[in-house]
Amino acid sequence: MRLIILVHILATIKLCSAGWPRCLRCCLKGSEDDGVQDAYTRGEQGASGSSVPLEELHEEIHSFLSGEGDVPQPTRPQPITRALDLSKPDKTVTSLEIHRKAGVKYKNYYEKVDCQITSVVDGNQELWAISDQEQYLLAEIYERGRSTLLRIDVINPDEYKPKLFEKVDGKWNAIGILEFFRKLDVMRKSGQASGSISSRSSYFSSIFPGSSTE
């Protein structure tokens, strides 16, 4: 009886080419025909088998984690390009923020996500149009009484140069930066006559200490 049992054990070991330890593993996890293999067996099969060698598998994992593999990148949609018409702003491409400070009403027009402002107009009057490497940032209107000012912030790789305007008789007139901030300073000062000598003196004194316009 013992001889029969020993013969069966020896036959089992001989039939399993992997040897006794791996034979036990095969018996517990199934045969290769069932598609079940452990990492050790896969690593030793290499290119001769249907499995991927461990070294190659490690390289693929490293390539994936480091971003060197063929990982599909998300594509960003092309921005919606529109003109900002101050007379009737398109709410689908711009966001409007309104607030008050020192008696002045501020209206800020920002681009929405995935939108691009390529020009600023007011009805039939064009105030700014995009050129090479320029980018629109903001259009801000300042209102108080009958006075209205406009600042369009535009940048390019070399400089920041705002476009500045004053509204006169329903039309926008381009003005210089000193004149713009002088007029804005006058708008902010309550109880003072617009364009008065004291207002101009106060404005220039704040920029150039010790100077006087009188």
Quick: pLDDT tens for 52-95.
677 777 777 777 666 655 556 667 678 888 899 999 999 988 99
Query: 16 to each of 41, 43, 48, 73, how far by Cα in Å?
Result: 13, 18, 18, 47
| Mean pLDDT computed over 170-188 | 96
Quote the DSSP letter at residue 187. H
- pLDDT category at 108 given cuts 50, 70, 90 is very high
pTM here?
0.55
Task: List Cα–Cα distances, 42 to 13, 17, 36, 45, 48, in angstroms.
Answer: 21, 15, 10, 5, 10
| Locus of tokens 């109880």 | 191
Using the structure block, give the residue that is written with the tokens 């009958």: 146
Measured CA to CA in angstroms, residue 29 lies from 16, 34, 44, 70, 183 at distances of 14, 9, 17, 34, 86
Residues 6+ apart with CB under 8 A from 119: 83, 84, 126, 128, 129, 130
- Alpha-carbon span 183 to 135, nearest angstrom: 26
